[in-house]
Amino acid sequence: MKTAHIFLLIVLAASSVAFCGENWPQWRGPNHNGSSGETGLPDKLDKDSTLVWTTPLPGRSGATPVVWNDKVFLTAGDKTNKDLLAICVNRADGKVLWQKVVAPSSDKPYGKNSNMASPSPITDGKSVIFLFGTGHLAAFDMDGKELWTRDLTKDHSKFAIMWGYGSSGMLYKDKLYIPVLQRDTNPYVPGADSGGKPIESFILCIDPKTGKELWKHVRPSDAVQETRESYATPIPLELKDRSELVMVGGDCVSGHDPETGKEYWRFGGWNPTKINHVRLVPSVTTWQDLVFVSTPKHLFPFFAVKAGGSGDVTNSHQAWSLDKSISPDVCTPLVYKDLLYVLDGDSGKRMLYCIDPKTGTKKWEGQIPGAKSTFWTSPTAADDKIYVINEASEVSVIQAGGSEFKVLNMTSMGDTICYSSIAIAQGQLFVRTGQNLHCFAKK
């Protein structure tokens, strides 16, 4: 009995060592802001010195990998773009543990940087949920057994989004939130607008255990055409007296009750002339009671909005704003150790700004080196390092904080185009390119 007891203690100790770090359960990580508390991470992603393994993938995706203990989950289209795949690999060696066909893909071309595998998976360690741009939603247990599956477009309209649906879902307090902010008519799928009735934009709340709908909140907008479309993900914000679910798109940002979807407040007004071709890509980022809002196409300012209001707060709850030249068109900002980092990833700029989130004061700025290539990804951070990857699959590691912009390293993955942000978990970095999943760590 004593021997068995000692053996059990050894097993538990080994398990504790194996999973001693943080997980990366969804697109913006454990804190919903792109940051992690991980330490001991490499400042150089080098295939000779810090590469742990590389796993070839069947097809590309814009989704960020998610990690829970010993498993990494990701999506992909297959080589022929016929099927959409849910994939699980072993974190230790990159071996594919299981791979499932979730849905047929779409043969509609959506441009070089968007396909139906763009939304990131979501996991709570008990199950993993995969969402695809076709509207297919499926949950599996950690060993790959299907728990439930749904096609959202059968219960609602087909998605009226020009470049294909690309928002990731968000799991918060045992509820799954799916945003669908879209046009009110669908020029892409004839007849998909329910017999001429306007298509609604909405947020769904789903029970992650069963896939059943808990509520649907219709989110109105006075934006027009493409400007109604959003690729953002809802982000939770916890205030002293209530929690909020914050969503941006359709010329406004709004705060909602996570229990019912009821809209608490709305801030907008940045597009008074109703420009009709400016879809919104970045999600909001939050810090304390502030919401940071990126507006599209360098046409409007970058805003900090005070949450916790009621009704239309456009004229009452702006904390500060920055010039439109700083507002990123694609990359979601990062908050790490009480600093705000904004990446303007346009190929001609490639600028990273470090900003005091309380005041909007710029602490430093710098141009990221490497090819003059666009960043379609968002910055992530841990261990006092910021990790960014551009379309050419070049990874730059930048010193977080400090008094000046400092690049620690820049390395090319030598792969095809990249649209996935870097995930950080369990002392490792996970870099997903168009053809491979790479794992890096200090050795």
Can you give the pLDDT at residue 18?
52
- Name beta bridge partners: 84: 77, 103
396 in Cβ contact with 388 (< 8 Å): yes
pLDDT at position 148 is 98
- Residue 4: its pLDDT value, please? 41
Q: Cα–Cα distance between 57 and 136 in angstroms, integer?
A: 21
**Predicted pLDDT at 272:** 97
Taking 50 as the pLDDT cut, the residues of the chain under it are 1-17, 109
Q: Of 61, 62, 67, 60, give the one whose Cα is nearest residue 25.
A: 67
What's the token pair of residue 313?
């707060």
Residue 188: its pLDDT value, please?
67
> Taking a C-beta distance cutoff of 8 angstroms, is the pair 316, 269 a contact?
no
Residues present in the chain in total: 443
Q: At a CB cut-off of 8 Å and minimum separation 6, what does 387 contact?
A: 379, 380, 381, 395, 396, 397, 398, 422, 424, 429
- The pLDDT of residue 264 is 98
Q: What tokens were used for 302?
A: 């970058």
CA angle 180, 112, 247 (to 5 degrees): 25
Beta strands across the sheet bearing 66-68? 66-68, 71-77, 83-90, 96-104
Check residue 6 and give its pLDDT: 39
Residues 263 and 278: their CA atoms lie apart, in Å, by 24
**pLDDT value at position 3?**
41
215 burial type by CB count under 10 A (0-12 exposed, 13-18 middle, 19+ buried): middle
Give the predicted TM-score (pTM) of the model: 0.94
pLDDT confidence of residue 195: 58
Instruction: Give residues with Cβ within 8 angstroms of 64, minimum separation 6.
Output: 27, 120, 168, 420, 421, 422, 423, 432
The per-residue pLDDT for 113 is 57
Q: Where are the domains of the chain?
A: 26-440
Q: Which CATH number fits domain 26-440: 3.30.1330.60, 3.40.50.720, 2.130.10.10, 1.10.3810.10?
A: 2.130.10.10
